[in-house]
Amino acid sequence: MHIHRYERWWMTFGIAMLVVFLLMIGFAAFADNINPPSGLQQVDPQKLSQTPPFDKPGLRKLPNGTYEAYYVAEVFNFIPATLSVPVGSKVTFYVTSADVVHGFFIPRTDINMMAIPGWVNTQSHTFTRSGDYLLICHEYCGIGHQNMFARIAVH
């Protein structure tokens, strides 16, 4: 079977790109440690009001000086609606939803998650700059979506 020279180049290029992309994925996974979320926590969205710590959403200070913030997202609020932490605080956010999928986004930080009924998502951020931060729902969740936000005061 005769394969044209250009065809052979093109096949070689295609296979080479496949190898390059596989190596990039491997590099990201093993050298940069970028992996899909694992060790996910599950929770019954019907029983949030009886399930610690989501029965009392809010801020907890840990003995090492960092904070944990537990949030419940529901149409069309975040609980707690306000939070206040000192400048320099490292806060680990734990978020779940009581009803539908919501967004959990704090502009000017690296917090960008989804609030999913049945699952607890987690992300940490160290607030090095003071100010009032807005926590917004950036996942369309219904008629009041655009009014779904909360505030975080860092002072």
125 binds ligand CUA (CB under 6 A): no
Surface-to-core class of residue 135, CB atoms within 10 Å of its CB (0-12 exposed, 13-18 middle, 19+ buried): buried
95 binds ligand CUA (CB under 6 A): no
79 binds ligand CUA (CB under 6 A): no
Peptide bond into 63 cis (omega under 30): no
Among candidate residues 155, 151, 3, the one with its CA nearest the CA of residue 80: 151
Q: Which residues contact 62 (CB under 8 A, 6 or more apart)?
A: 68
137 binds ligand CUA (CB under 6 A): yes
Nearer to ligand CUA, 45 or 103 (CB): 103
Q: In this chain, which of 96, 111, 139, 154 binds ligand CUA, going by CB under 6 A?
A: 139
Helix (H) or strand (E) run with residue 24 in it: helix 5-30
Q: How far is the CB of 9 from ligand CUA (least distance, A)?
A: 50
| DSSP E strands, the chain | 41-42, 58-61, 67-74, 77-79, 82-85, 90-97, 102-106, 111-115, 119-126, 131-136, 149-154
**Could you give the string, one character per residue 36-75, with x where binding to ligand CUA holds by CB under 6 A and - elsewhere?**
----------------------------------------
Q: In this chain, which of 43, 66, 92, 145 binds ligand CUA, going by CB under 6 A?
A: 145
Nearer to ligand CUA, 76 or 119 (CB): 76
How many residues touch ligand CUA (CB under 6 A)? 9
Give backbone dihedrals phi and psi of 124, rounded to 5 degrees, phi first: -115, 150
Positions touching ligand CUA (CB under 6 A) are 76, 102-103, 137, 139-141, 145, 148
